Amino acid sequence: MGILEGKKGLILGLANNKSIAWGVAQACHREGAELGFNYLGEQLEKRVRPLAEKVDSTLIESMDVGEDAEMDAFFAKVEEKWGKMDFMIHSIAFANKDALRNPFSQCTREDFQLAMDISAYSFVACAQRAAKIMNDGGSMVTMTYLGAERVIPGYGMMGVAKAALEASTRYLAEDLGKSRGIRVNAVSSGPIRTLAASAVGDFRELMAKSARGSMLGRNVSQDEVGNTTAYLASDLASGVSGEVHYVDAGFHVGAGDPGVEK
Ligand code: NAD
């Protein structure tokens, strides 16, 4: 019997078969969960729907997390179809490329707000809606990166947004944990080649450095992140909340100046 047998969960942020969300979806499906998905716009629906159907999903709906009305409509459909649910995986981020690659001191108000809204606040916005239809003792997981803690060249504004996301994870964990027994965690993955990753400056070099600095001496896979996330979604992690859980994020061995990667 799988560790998610009998559980229903949302996977938010699937774009294509390279997405971290796809690694998570496959692991959760293998472990017995019934899954629901969102997609962003018609273009992505063409890619998301066939993937979601591969893991036997029948709940595949549009949702832009930048729009409150779309979020309300999405969660209303989830409630209509499922009634209650058990877990939610948030694997969503967006920032304008300039905000990652330009010197951070040049970040505009607009770029700062957009990255914060889609990459950090959207987790809070999803959590508040999901909690209303989540069974007590459920689980929420978001995806973060080491750039929240250390300066990673080329990551810029997204590092600042991930710091806010990690802090939001802890505050949500305390709030929903004490009131409802709902656990909230973040998974911090090493770099993986995805659509979102293509916005990061000099990603090839980042992957090479990350592999050298990791405990395992290599980069991690989408499947490894998926397995860790499935564990956090499951009752096996019933005592784990408010944590940033690393999947060999790199730069822990032989790092240069504290807090700045060269
Ligand atoms: P991805 O491009 O496959 O996924 C990002 C998803 O965010 C896409 O599905 C996209 O549609 C969605 N999205 C963006 N704006 C949205 C909006 N307004 N409404 C709804 N959805 C929206 O890339 P990924 O690398 O799988 O990213 C998933 C998560 O993992 C992100 O939070 C990312 O920061 C994080 N992460 C990625 C890496 C990496 O190296 N790829 C490492 C650590 C953490």
Cβ of residue 93 lying under 6 Å from some atom of ligand 1: yes
Residue 167 or 254, more confident: 167
* 155 flagged as catalytic: yes
What's the rounded mean pLDDT across residues 240-260?
73
Ligand 1 pocket: which of 42, 92, 116, 141 to mutate (most atoms within 8 A of CB): 92
- Threshold 0.85, pTM exceeds: yes
pLDDT in the model for residue 252: 62
Cα separation of 185 and 89, whole Å?
10
How sure is the predictor about 258, in pLDDT bands with cuts at 50, 70 and 90?
A: very low
Cβ of residue 19 lying under 6 Å from some atom of ligand 1: yes
> Does residue 255 carry a pLDDT above 70?
no
> Does residue 76 carry a pLDDT above 80?
yes
What tens digit of pLDDT does each residue of 3-12 get?
Answer: 999 999 999 9
Which atom of ligand 1 is nearest to 41's Cα?
A: 11
What tens digit of pLDDT does each residue of 204-244 get?
Answer: 999 999 998 888 999 999 999 999 999 999 999 999 999 99
Cβ of residue 48 lying under 6 Å from some atom of ligand 1: no
C-alpha to C-alpha distances, 103 to 110, 151, 154, 245, nearest whole angstrom: 15, 12, 9, 29
C-alpha to C-alpha distances, 258 to 42, 103, 139, 159, nearest whole angstrom: 44, 20, 33, 16
